[in-house]
Amino acid sequence: MKADYLTYRKATGVSILGLVLQTAQAVILLIYGILNRDQAAMTGGVIIGFGIPVWLGLAIVFDQHRRERLEAFEAEAIAASSGASNSVFDTGGEEFKVAARRLAGLHKFFLPGLSIFICIGLAVMAWLRFNVAKSHLAETDRHLTDPDGWGIAIGLTLAVIGFIFARFVSGMAKQAAWANLRGGAAYAVASSLIGLAIAVAHFVDYAGPDVIRIYLPIVLAGLMFIMAGEILLNLVLDLYRPRKPGQIPRPAFDSRILSFIAAPDRIAESISEAINYQLGFDVSSNWFYQLVSRRLGILVVVAIVVVWSLSALTVIQPHQRGMVLRFGQFTREMGPGLNLKLPWPLERVEIPEYSRKAADKPREILGYTTTGVRILDLGTPPPANTTSAILWTNDHVGEEVFQIVQPSRIDSASSARSDDPALRVESSAPAGAGLALVAVEIPMFYAVRDVKLFDSFAPPEMRDDMLAAVARRQIMQYLSHQSVDDIVGGDRQKLNAQIRTSVQAALDNLNPDPATGTPQGAGIDLLFVGITNAHPNKAVSQSFEKVVQADRNRESKIESARKDEIETLTKVVGSTELAFKISSEIQALEQMLTDKSTQAAIKDQELKIQQLLESAGGSAAELVAKAKAERWTRHMGERGRASRYAGQIAAYEASPLVFQAGEYFQALRAAMTGARVYIVNDKVADLRIQAELQDVDTGVGVFRDRSESPKDY
């Protein structure tokens, strides 16, 4: 085809038509997305909107091509006129080719600059729309409006118009003069694919799950990233690509990937040419190729039927259970394994899902499952740090959940544990006075027993919240009657059994039957619910530990006293059992004395106690034996004195004077023992006595007993 100005004028008109269609598609899709809060439609509208500068740039370039052809035609006409060789303008005419220079400038600067603008815009909008889609995915109220006919109609309209126009433009682009129309055809087919994706997402949401509508914005944002990366790669490769004289350069915004989708026949031709070149013969003339070409429609129909028939097979994972819905009505339940059903859309299988809220995703044993073992944290979440020791004084989690319980009764509990009634101290505080707060970790493990009941008692995004609310209410009511001692150090197995019974009963009262009003339950089985860890607030944990430490010190002192008791009783009587027996016999004797029992009974009891003391092997038996020895010594001494006194009486009766003289001289002897006696004449008036007052015993008997008589030395 001759590239004259009429050719480029037609390309300019097609570019303007593409500009109008691209603008209308982008505006319609953006308005629909904003009104219906459809993130996929808004992202698709942004992508289609980037085709507006592409078509505008192509219109400007093709119009400049038209002007350049007109300028060249005029130059050729002047050169062909008579006398042209004598014209003052006959200097080669290069300085008069204004349109050609402008066209060269457009290809050298305008189209690369436009490509850079589109690349940056796609990258920035891809990043923004990806963040919006990701945050929208994590929102609590992230569900879109109910699918309607507008979404399907608009999507199909964009798909049909975009595909037809892209095929038309790609057909024109086969001509060398219109080759740059491939860039516009790429964005036209992009609008077609986006419209088809939106229509399919709405249709799938209407027929079943809305997973495509939820994740489609992220996919479209990824498409923008790919388109921006391809433009950047084309810009880099164009710097090193050799240029032939007279060849029109291909703009960087011309997507090779989308161009292939716009012209799939060119893909087949390219593959056929490559195979023919490699094999050395024409594959397209082969009988097999011709057979496939003639029966291609039948093969496509058979493939569609086979693929549709495969929808009758459903695989349920081992940790899942599914519900078979026939035209939206529950028919039966499917277990794990390969199952048969009617093809879609006659029957479809639904598996109960978790809420998609990222903040409410519970911890699980088997990973992200639908009907496997699940865990809900009903109290304080478990500590994140599991590599070091977890103490009451450590930081556990960012925000702990405290339960209201009864105050501690540690004093009365400790007194009740004492065996000695004298050590028991009754608490003066009234029962239930004050409150206490305890952080308790209470995980709830459960599994789905009845999929239908589990799916019907609440919407997917509210099931875990409702289960947690019911369970927390029962736990709060139960713990409010327990003391902090019972929670922290009580019989935890008994507490967990009572908690599980209470929570299971509350869950069984959910989901009343609409017809009879009888509770059907939530369709789950509690595998475990109970207290796994409990601790007071970090601010009071040290004071709490001081109370516990004081109680332990008190117990230690009691045990030390018991040790002293055992040691003392063992030293006294040899064993604690014998000591308690003797003590009880002594108390019995005191009771007999109080009751004024007979003397014979009292004597027998005293003898019994004496025999017990004598049989004891401790200090008591030693004291009894020593007392007996002293009594015997004193008894015999007194008996000897009595016998001597009887002899003195007999001697006195025999001779009183002799007895008296003997006693007198015996007394003098006792009085004069150790004394200096001087015998003098009592008639001497002047008596002078010279005495040597030096102790005759000095240096000889210093260490002797002064009470002994000198005659002993």
The rounded distance, in Å, linking the Cα atoms of 170 and 263 is: 6
Candidates 159, 165, 177; CA nearest to 55 is: 165
Position with higher pLDDT, 689 vs 358 = 689
Q: Which span out of 249-258, 314-323, 403-412, 426-435 was modeled with the highest average pLDDT?
A: 249-258
Instruction: Calculate helix-pair angle for 149-172, 181-207, nearest 10 degrees.
Output: 160
Tokens at 68, concatenated: 């350049």
Which of 64-68, 434-438, 493-497 has the least mean pLDDT?
434-438
Average pLDDT over every residue of 5-33:
87
Render pLDDT for 261-283 as a digit per residue (tens, 0 to 9): 666 555 555 566 656 656 666 66
The rounded distance, in Å, linking the Cα atoms of 169 and 191 is: 14
DSSP output for 114-177: HHHHHHHHHHHHHHHHHHHHHHHHH-TT---PPP-HHHHHHHHHHHHHHHHHHHHHHHHTTSGG
Residues with Cβ within 8 Å of residue 9, at least 6 apart in sequence: 62, 63, 66
Per-residue confidence at 358, pLDDT binned at 50, 70, 90?
very low
The domains found in the chain, sorted by start residue, are 5-78+97-262 (no CATH), 295-351 (no CATH), 360-546 (3.30.479.30), 633-712 (no CATH)
Average pLDDT over every residue of 480-506:
84
Render pLDDT for 106-134 as a digit per residue (tens, 0 to 9): 888 888 888 889 889 889 988 988 888 88
pLDDT at 208: 62
Render pLDDT for 375-415 as a digit per residue (tens, 0 to 9): 888 887 777 666 666 776 666 666 778 888 888 765 444 44
Segment (H or E) for 44: helix 39-49
Polymer length of the chain: 713
Tokens at 486, concatenated: 């019972």
User: How close are the terminal C-alpha atoms of the chain, in Å?
Assistant: 166
CA 215 to chain centre: 26
The rounded distance, in Å, linking the Cα atoms of 40 and 24 is: 17
pLDDT at 445 over 60: yes
Per-residue confidence at 323, pLDDT binned at 50, 70, 90?
confident
Beta partners for residue 268, in sequence order: none
Sign of the CA dihedral running 257, 258, 259, 263: positive
Q: Which span out of 59-68, 71-80, 542-551 was modeled with the highest average pLDDT?
A: 59-68
The mean pLDDT value of the chain amounts to 76
Average pLDDT over every residue of 644-653:
84
pTM for the predicted model, two decimal places: 0.44
Position with higher pLDDT, 158 vs 461 = 158
The rounded distance, in Å, linking the Cα atoms of 362 and 382 is: 12
Candidates 353, 314, 346; CA nearest to 333 is: 314
Candidates 311, 341, 310; CA nearest to 325 is: 341
